[in-house]
Amino acid sequence: MYNLVDHFINFLKVQKNFSDHTIEAYQKDLFEGIDFFSTVLNVCDEKLHPSQIDSRLFRNFLSHMQERNLQRSTIARRLAAWRTFFRFLYREGLVQTNPLLRMANPKQEKRLPKFLYQDEAKELVESPGNTPLGVRDRSLLELLYATGIRVSELVALDLYHLDLSRGYLRVWGKGSKERLVPIHDRAVAALKRYLTEARPKLAQPDCPAVFVNYKGSRLSDRGVRKLIDKYCQQLGLTKNISPHVIRHSFATHLLDNGADLRSVQELLGHVSLSTTQIYTHVTKQKLKKIYHLSHPRAKF
């Protein structure tokens, strides 16, 4: 079974160009299932074959995860990993049937995205100082909030992806889908300052990355999260702020200020409009709060 998983993981890397994070999650989800199926069937992991896994056995796996009180999102992700795995095996002729073909995803809990208020976002973006690393951090935070790009897209930026004269950057999102993202003038100015004043002092000569760490090599996802944590602590922000929260804030503030949903979808790089629609719930809540605070008949 593990040889088949390795073959599948290689397929995701080479053919599908999945991110390292997604591949790691899929591999973990498949290994969790293999452990369960091997135990139930009383066979060693190496001798387990996908043809031994039927829909009834997989439902037992789902029940096992529910009994462990795993989040619905975790269960749905594991189901997606196994569904993709079996689809691959079926196409390769390694199994005759796909036991997950008609298995429905568990209903997801609808959670509203966390976001910063506009004054909090402004305070966070303007908090770095004037040292080379501070100038880097200012331009990085300006860019995150100006564009709403994912942290993986941010750290993957190379110098040739920037077109500051026209106010655009080229981004490769999920599934290596390319999109052009506009940048407002304030973010462009912050980037220009970083590229001329700070980056030459930080970057190694052969490093193509836009954002580099103190050693001069490409900044990592984790590095971005750590610097955001640092400035949030300095500002006393009690919210758990991640790069994705800044992305949520970008989308929410655009809608709050009159942007249409379709444009926000394009800017975020969402394939489906339904993914973007969650932000309308945030703005509706804000409108409801304003209404109850402002309407004279809404107060007792």
174 is catalytic: yes
Catalytic residue among 77, 161, 247, 248: 247
Catalytic residue among 83, 179, 225, 244: 244
47 is catalytic: no
Q: What are phi and psi of 101, to 5 degrees?
A: -55, -45
Catalytic residue among 64, 72, 114, 174: 174
Instruction: Please state, in angstroms and rounded to a whole number, the distance separating the CA atoms of residues 252 and 158.
Output: 28
Query: Is the sign of the CA dihedral 126, 128, 131, 135 positive or negative?
Result: negative
Closest CA to 8 of 60, 100, 81: 81
Query: Residue 69 is encoded by which pair of tokens?
Result: 């009180």
Give the count of beta carbons closer than 10 Å to the beta carbon of residue 236: 6
Catalytic residue among 150, 161, 248, 253: 150
194 is catalytic: no
Alpha helices in the chain (DSSP H): 2-14, 20-41, 55-67, 72-91, 118-125, 132-147, 151-155, 185-193, 199-202, 221-235, 243-256, 261-268, 273-276, 278-294
What does the chain come to in residues? 300
Catalytic residue among 87, 170, 179, 270: 270
Instruction: Please state, in angstroms and rounded to a whole number, the distance separating the CA atoms of residues 217 and 203.
Output: 6
Instruction: Please state, in angstroms and rounded to a whole number, the distance separating the CA atoms of residues 41 and 151.
Output: 42
Catalytic residue among 26, 145, 194, 279: 279
CB 174, CB 19: distance < 8 Å: yes
279 is catalytic: yes
193 is catalytic: no
244 is catalytic: yes
Q: Which residues are catalytic?
A: 150, 174, 244, 247, 270, 279
